[in-house]
């Protein structure tokens, strides 16, 4: 280990920055954000640096560097384009036993600036010991994607209750286990969801009840249309915290593998006329598992609130006062359209879009077909494969032209995605020949004409 990682308190402390160019401005931005009392020594400085100093109360000493500029300082940074000036700053700082950083010159540094993931008060620093700053920045970007901004809120929350918990649980080991429970459970999720008052209630309940029996929480998560990369950061985080995962048949194996290895997985998928677990039983199972203290993920394809029956599931949770969160997912219409090169709206084709369930009850045409006649509106039918003949027939019967373009997208966003195009007059025959399998999505409207021009999925 070439450097000792430390976190240095510089708030209201005198720091000198030699240099006023673009690189110096970047360092000034960081030092001022940390609250340093900054003095910049340079004949000229950038307009941005002038604004930063004015905003944070820093000082610009418009002159060339002199050794006396370091007197009374606690930290020194040199960021000039002149190697000789930088070397002199380093030598003077060493003579005064001051920590010094010379930008892009590891040999002249007694400390270096890491790449920082800032979730104040939580900080994550990545350093390559000055060997490869670009690699450190790349790793920072990866970590930033894994650590939501709300973690800073969680760290602040824990800090406010640190003494309270210490008084309630004096012994170190039980106190550590308690905080682990808090950080991995419903309290943390309430904080990160912006519901700190509720989090405080839950924390006090945990402190008051030493039996360890507490309600869990339910996370209703939209898994998107299939591609694991379309999951949101929040969805992945909650999925990886779950004790139990209830999943649909539309959830891909890649997404399911994101859950914890030791999490219990319960299949509750449905096919036409074949419900593995009836909806009422699913609703009750969510309540029962949460009341047993489990963190439960209800993982649904697409978005829970678009033909996903998510509203029915959380109704029972709300009635039983079970904490829950709903995480939106990219709905199948959006995923299928984007991966097929079919924009759902387009200035020259469609100014609105309508989502319709194609799962017609008892095979009957119980939809308001007369309202589907606008040529400037895109129609998207979910679960419409079985009802395709009725859809094509009724749209034409109520006035849509027989040559209206339409597309059927099979297994959207996956490596097996297939797009079948045709018209209201030809699509039934095409589907009969191609024999696609669910899940499928149907798009009707002139936007389908753009498929060949704009599609990219699966092309090199």
- Residues in CB range of 357: below 8 A, 6 or more apart: 307, 381, 382, 383
In contact, 106 and 98? CB cutoff 8 Å: no
Instruction: Tell me whether residue 404 is annotated as binding.
Output: no
What span, in angstroms and rounded, lies between the C-alpha atoms of 62 and 77?
A: 16
The Cα-based distances of 178 to 122, 171, 213 in angstroms read 20, 11, 13
Instruction: Tell me whether residue 331 is annotated as binding.
Output: yes
Q: Tell me phi and psi for residue 407, to 5 degrees.
A: -135, 145
Helix, strand, coil shares, percent, the chain, to 5: 40, 20, 40
* Residue 248 annotated among the catalytic residues of the structure: yes
> Could you give the angle at the alpha carbon of 372 between the alpha carbons of 368 and 376, nearest 5°?
160
Q: Which of 87, 118, 270, 291 is catalytic?
A: 270
Instruction: Tell me whether residue 199 is annotated as binding.
Output: no
Q: Which of 234, 243, 248, 300 is catalytic?
A: 248
What span, in angstroms and rounded, lies between the C-alpha atoms of 285 and 303?
A: 20
Instruction: Tell me whether residue 125 is annotated as binding.
Output: no
What span, in angstroms and rounded, lies between the C-alpha atoms of 423 and 426?
A: 5
Of 156, 146, 277, 298, the residue nearest 216 (C-alpha):
298
Instruction: Tell me whether residue 225 is annotated as binding.
Output: yes
What span, in angstroms and rounded, lies between the C-alpha atoms of 123 and 118?
A: 5
Instruction: Tell me whether residue 43 is annotated as binding.
Output: yes
Q: Strands of 295-300's sheet, edge to edge?
A: 264-267, 244-247, 295-300, 217-222, 324-327
Instruction: Tell me whether residue 100 is annotated as binding.
Output: no
- Residues in CB range of 391: below 8 A, 6 or more apart: 358, 381, 384, 442, 444
What span, in angstroms and rounded, lies between the C-alpha atoms of 86 and 62?
A: 17
- Any bridge partners for residue 265, and if so which? 245
Instruction: Tell me whether residue 341 is annotated as binding.
Output: no
Instruction: Tell me whether residue 208 is annotated as binding.
Output: no
In contact, 446 and 419? CB cutoff 8 Å: no
What span, in angstroms and rounded, lies between the C-alpha atoms of 169 and 161?
A: 12
DSSP string, 25-52: HHHHHHHHHTT-EEEEE-S---HHHHHH
Length of the chain: 460
What span, in angstroms and rounded, lies between the C-alpha atoms of 67 and 211?
A: 65
Numbered residues of the known binding site for NAD(+)? 22-23, 43-44
Numbered residues of the known binding site for S-adenosyl-L-methionine? 225, 301-303, 306, 331-332, 383, 412
The catalytic residue positions are 248, 270
Numbered residues of the known binding site? 22-23, 43-44, 225, 301-303, 306, 331-332, 383, 412
């Amino acid at each position: 280990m070439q450097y000792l990682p430390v976190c240095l308190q510089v708030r209201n402390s005198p720091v000198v920055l030699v240099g006023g160019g673009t690189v110096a401005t970047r360092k000034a931005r960081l030092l001022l954000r940390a609250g340093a009392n900054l003095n910049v020594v340079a004949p000229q400085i950038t307009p941005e640096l002038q604004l930063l100093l004015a905003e944070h109360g820093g000082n610009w000493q418009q002159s060339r560097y002199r050794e006396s500029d370091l007197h009374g300082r606690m930290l020194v940074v040199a960021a000039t384009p002149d190697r000789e000036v930088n070397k002199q700053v380093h030598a003077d700082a060493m003579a005064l036993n001051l920590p010094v950083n010379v930008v892009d010159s590891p040999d002249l540094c007694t400390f270096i600036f890491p790449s920082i993931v800032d979730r104040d008060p939580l900080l994550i620093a990545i350093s390559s010991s000055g060997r490869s700053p670009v690699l450190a920045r790349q790793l920072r970007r990866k970590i930033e994607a894994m650590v939501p901004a709300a973690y800073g809120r969680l760290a602040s929350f824990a800090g406010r209750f640190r003494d309270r918990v210490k008084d309630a649980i004096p012994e170190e080991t039980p106190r550590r286990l308690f905080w682990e429970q808090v950080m991995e459970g419903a309290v943390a999720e309430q904080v990160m969801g912006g519901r700190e008052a509720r989090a405080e209630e839950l924390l006090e309940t945990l402190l008051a009840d030493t039996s360890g029996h507490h309600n869990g929480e339910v996370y209703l998560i939209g898994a998107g249309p299939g591609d694991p990369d379309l999951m949101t950061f929040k969805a992945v985080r909650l999925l990886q915290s779950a004790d139990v995962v209830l999943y649909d048949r539309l959830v891909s194996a890649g997404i399911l593998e994101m859950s914890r290895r030791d999490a219990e997985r319960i299949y509750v998928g449905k096919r036409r006329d074949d419900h593995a677990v009836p909806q009422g039983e699913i609703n009750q199972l969510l309540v029962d598992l949460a009341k047993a203290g489990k963190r439960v993920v209800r993982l649904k394809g697409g978005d829970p609130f678009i033909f996903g029956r998510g509203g029915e599931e959380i109704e029972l949770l709300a009635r039983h006062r079970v904490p829950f969160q709903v995480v939106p997912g990219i709905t199948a219409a959006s995923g299928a359209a984007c991966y097929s090169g079919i924009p759902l709206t387009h200035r020259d084709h469609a100014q609105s879009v309508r989502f319709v369930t194609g799962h017609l009850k008892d095979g009957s045409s119980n939809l308001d077909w007369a309202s589907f006649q606008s040529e400037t509106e895109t129609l998207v039918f979910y679960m419409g494969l079985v009802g395709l003949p009725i859809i094509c027939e009724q749209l034409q019967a109520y006035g849509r032209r027989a040559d209206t373009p339409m597309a059927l997208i099979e297994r959207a966003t996956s490596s097996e995605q297939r797009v079948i195009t045709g018209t209201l007059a030809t699509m039934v025959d095409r589907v009969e020949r191609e024999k696609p399998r669910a899940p499928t999505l149907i798009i009707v409207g002139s936007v389908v004409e753009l498929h060949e021009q704009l599609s990219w999925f699966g092309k090199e």
